[in-house]
Amino acid sequence: MLLTHDAIASLAPDQKALTAARGQMKPAKWPVRERADDRALVWGECQGSGANPYRTVVDAATLGYKCTCPSRKFPCKHVLALMWMFVDDPALFQPAVTPEWVAEWLGRRRRAGPAAVTSGGGKSLAAASLEPDAAAADPKAEARRIAAAEKRAGETRAALFQAIDDVEGWIADQLRTGLGAFIEDAPDRCRAIAARMVDGKAAALAGRIDEIPARLLLRPVEERLDAAVAELGKVVILAHAFRAAPEDPELRRLVSTAETRESVLEAAGTLRVRAAWEVLGERISTRRDGMVMQESWLLNLGEGPRFSVLLDFFPASAGRRGSAFSNGDRFEGELAFYPARVPLRALIADRTPLAGDADWPATPAAPDPLAAVAAANDAAPWLTRVPLLLPPGRLLAGGKAFWWQSADGGAALPLADPPPPAVRGMALAAAAGVWDAGRLTLLAAQTDWGRIALDG
């Protein structure tokens, strides 16, 4: 099946269509949600503003689609919503006999072959896959297809370069008018330039900029000026790096869109690490675009310290999703890492339950507990989140402030959130967390009484 969250995002004509689709995902709007037995076809009826519901169908195997709504966007918000609901929970779609209107659409697509179109005349991205042998046998058709693909790639590249120019000009404007004014008006200013980034196909960069105001609010007032300099500076570094190497997979992921799960798993050069892994904990945050980001942080128990993070994104309107893991779960498995200078984001290629116990990697005391952050930023200065494995220490409180302090008292790191009262002052043999926006978010710790969870 080709239908994935990444595929849906790449199909969307623009960010507005994705946002509108999230508003169409309420179950009450879809009195009919059904699928074929093999799950290759899904269809539904969405109640719109008219008397008759819009009929929507998706070929999950080829990403073909049709909707009876009058939208001029292809795919429309109803198609995107149906796709997203099916990827989120296929069980919500009841197996059913293919209705006549779906069978007629499917028959027209097969007769039309490579020229098949969706409703309203929008071409299906999967049309060429309907009769691949015929397309390959026609050199002229293949040449036209390659030329069209190269044209689209050129247009996307030009749009991304324009987006980079726009964001650099925008940052220069913020510096010229003063960062104090920027901090006061950050939400509106960031939302405006983020919208321009989306129009320029720089969706990932748009999301990053849109989150800057929230990241600034995490800092005390007296730290926000320095934080604004750091946030905007990282965007400038990312922009310069992308301009120098626009085909770099990591930079393209951070500016435009991420690779598909399939491409990461199938690529010959993908970093694969087989080891015993422990689930340190998860972080869940709702972004300003209405998407929820769920991070599951893992620790390699045999090599260290090596971390990985599993990312999942879903609409906030879909409600809380259950995690595939519990805090402290351990498994033996192979992780495939997205290409990056500091490989962190990964996919699970396979896993089996871990037999027996395994200790965390050794954590020798270091003069600077942020040495790992400095090393990561040297390699990839656009990073915002860096995992840490800390040596022995304890959690202390002073007024409304909380921090982790090394056992020798020589180093201290401010905490993003208050630790549970029961562990304040407790001696920790080791602690794991994520350094982000000048604060440490603790995930778990080892104590004389065993492992404790600290991620809330």
325-343: per-residue pLDDT in tens? Answer: 788 889 999 999 999 999 9
What angle do helix axes 186-199 and 139-177 make, rounded to 10 degrees?
160
Cα dihedral 372/216/23/63 (nearest 10): -30
The tokens of 61 are what? 């195997």
Q: What is the pLDDT of residue 255?
A: 95
Q: pLDDT tier at 136 (50, 70, 90 boundaries)?
A: very low
Q: What is residue 257's predicted lDDT score, i.e. its pLDDT? A: 85
**What one-letter code names the amino acid at 443?**
L
Distance CA 289, CA 15 (A): 9
Residues with Cβ within 8 Å of residue 398, at least 6 apart in sequence: none
Question: Is this structure's pTM higher than 0.85?
Answer: no
**In the prediction, which pLDDT does 303 show?**
75
Beta pairing class for 94-95 and 32-35: parallel
Spell out the residues 6+ positions from residue 74 whose beta carbon is closer than 8 angstroms to its own.
13, 118, 120, 122, 123
From residue 113, alpha-carbon distances to 42, 61, 125, 256, 257 in Å are 20, 15, 12, 31, 29
Is pLDDT at 97 greater than 50 in this prediction?
Answer: yes
Residue 132's pLDDT band (cuts 50, 70, 90): very low
Q: pLDDT (tens digit, 9 = 90+) per residue, 238-284?
A: 999 999 999 999 999 999 988 888 888 888 899 999 999 999 998 88
Residue 126 has pLDDT above 50, yes or no: no
Give the pLDDT band of residue 131 (cuts 50, 70, 90).
very low
301 vs 400 pLDDT, higher one = 301
Q: Would you give the DSSP letter of residue 345?
A: B
- Mention every residue, 6+ apart, whose C-beta is less than 8 A from residue 11: 63, 75, 80, 83, 125
Q: Which residue has the higher pLDDT, 306 or 2?
A: 306
Phi-psi region for residue 223, left (φ > 0), alpha (ψ -120 to 50) or beta?
A: alpha
Answer yes or no: is pLDDT of 67 > 80: yes
Element (H or E) spanning 173, and its range?
Answer: helix 139-177
Beta partners for 204? none
pLDDT of residue 134: 41
- Encoded amino acid at 384, one letter: T
pLDDT (tens digit, 9 = 90+) per residue, 364-393? 666 788 999 999 999 999 999 999 999 999
Share of the chain above pLDDT 90, in %: 42
261-353 is a CATH 3.30.1490 domain: no
Mean pLDDT score of the chain, rounded to an integer?
84
Query: Rounded to an integer, what distance in angstroms lies between the CA atom of residue 304 and that of residue 357?
Result: 17
Q: Which of 192-196, 232-236, 285-289, 437-441 is modeled with the greatest confidence? A: 232-236
